[in-house]
Structure 1
């Protein structure tokens, strides 16, 4: 066997325990802060790990001694890139099959909307869903009850997500304001948790396809303008 390959093999073996050791040290430090459920991810910054917890995102040093709460930005180009949001984008995209999606026939952009059916701006946005679609903007909805979990809004939204035709139930609720209650096992918590990790507190919160997060309603034309700017590299990283 090639000597360089042998050396590489043993160096790799030597590094594996260190990675697990770092994670164990970090988990031990977090446990002292009563944080027992943490998803430890790699980070583009040497000596730091990204840690996803239910209440947000942390950056923790490999030795577990130092902790930073909030998003990590890449400032190496002409505009800010929210590295944390890019990581969370994988989590929101993993929920795609559970989203209520109004797809543009000639799709140019995809916007994920964290929404609450009691929010007036949700109604305003959804009334214009055909206008967003006509501009090539696909809208994907995830439930984010502003009153929190175990609220009436959370139960109503779970009923909508449980229905056989989510899109029709969603639009019917918007038009009538009535939700047909249903006993179901739809877990709104996972949508809500992802929203909290993004730092969302109010609705609608709009997640663009470059991981930029915009808080608050945007008209179809305003949204199209923002998306066109992001396409030309003028994004803020939100």
Structure 2
């Protein structure tokens, strides 16, 4: 009788736990939806809220607007821009979540639309969206000269000027695209030649828009993560590993 009572009590306790947990999850979901509705109401057509998630801080909510992360209070009245860092663990929660929501599927990249450069055995892979007139892209390309055993796929996305488009066309139309690209980005030797060959520039622009690339350089890695800007080579090496 005692054993049966204990089993019955355990079942009741487990059931109660499920009910309480379910109620808490439902309440959290409702709170998140409420914040999302209010933020979207405030923003109107200026931007679309793609997600709302609770944070470890009470009444502070993570707001995903496109590929960006911001924060809001429970009323949905105040937006906070900045990074949320867990000082105990040293984790940058904003960066962590940004990487999660902006992750891509490497196999979906149309690599034939990129200029392929192989160094060493080419075992490690990365993709770069770059404008030929982008100063930070040139700085990044120069640092790439110290990378080994890597394959880099350069997607030309002329964003800066009409000359960017012309140079992108000339580079793509060259018989040795990789050499002409490197000669210009690293050596300053301007491309020349025809501009009227078939090219993937429109497709690259559409892909950049789809992936939320709004500036160059933007790098993508095999694990689907991304890094924006001309970051130190050590950070790139870490991602390649």
TM-score, normalised to structure 2's length?
A: 0.57
For 1:140 and 1:51, the matched residues in 2 are separated by 32
Checking the alignment, whether the CA contact within 8 Å between 1:111 and 1:139 is kept in structure 2 is yes
Structure whose alpha-carbon radius of gyration is higher: 2
- The alpha-carbon deviation at position 68 of structure 1 amounts to 0.7
Could you say what secondary structure the match of 1:188 adopts? helix
Checking the alignment, whether the CA contact within 8 Å between 1:74 and 1:83 is kept in structure 2 is yes
Structure 2 unaligned runs (5+)?
Answer: 1-7, 184-190
- The alpha-carbon deviation at position 22 of structure 1 amounts to 1.5
Q: C-alpha deviations, 1:112-134, integer Å up to 9, x for none?
A: 655333324424544664631x1
Checking the alignment, whether the CA contact within 8 Å between 2:140 and 2:230 is kept in structure 1 is no
For 1:55 and 1:153, the matched residues in 2 are separated by 29
Q: C-alpha deviations, 1:158-200, integer Å up to 9, x for none?
A: 99xxx9xxxx997377264757445659432132x2x55xxxx
Paired residues, what number? 202
1:39 aligns with 2:50: yes
Could you say what secondary structure the match of 2:43 adopts? coil
- The alpha-carbon deviation at position 92 of structure 1 amounts to 3.9
Checking the alignment, whether the CA contact within 8 Å between 1:74 and 1:81 is kept in structure 2 is yes
> Match for 1:15 among 18, 24, 27?
24
For 2:209 and 2:98, the matched residues in 1 are separated by 16
For 1:172 and 1:125, the matched residues in 2 are separated by 16
1:69–1:144 distance in 2 versus 1, CA, 3 Å: farther
1:29 aligns with 2:41: no
36-45 or 123-132, larger mean C-alpha shift: 123-132
Checking the alignment, whether the CA contact within 8 Å between 1:115 and 1:145 is kept in structure 2 is yes
For 2:97 and 2:177, the matched residues in 1 are separated by 29
The within-5 A match list for 1:136-151 is: 146-147=159-160
Checking the alignment, whether the CA contact within 8 Å between 1:113 and 1:206 is kept in structure 2 is yes
Could you say what secondary structure the match of 2:146 adopts? helix
Highest RCO, 1 vs 2 (Cα 8 Å, sep ≥ 6):
1
- The alpha-carbon deviation at position 153 of structure 1 amounts to 8.9
> Match for 2:97 among 81, 87, 108?
87
Q: In angstroms, what is the RMSD of aligned CA positions?
A: 4.7
Could you say what secondary structure the match of 1:131 adopts? coil
For 2:180 and 2:92, the matched residues in 1 are separated by 34
The within-5 A match list for 1:81-160 is: 81-96=91-106, 97-98=108-109, 105=121, 113-123=128-138, 125-126=140-141, 129=144, 131-132=146-147, 134=148, 146-147=159-160
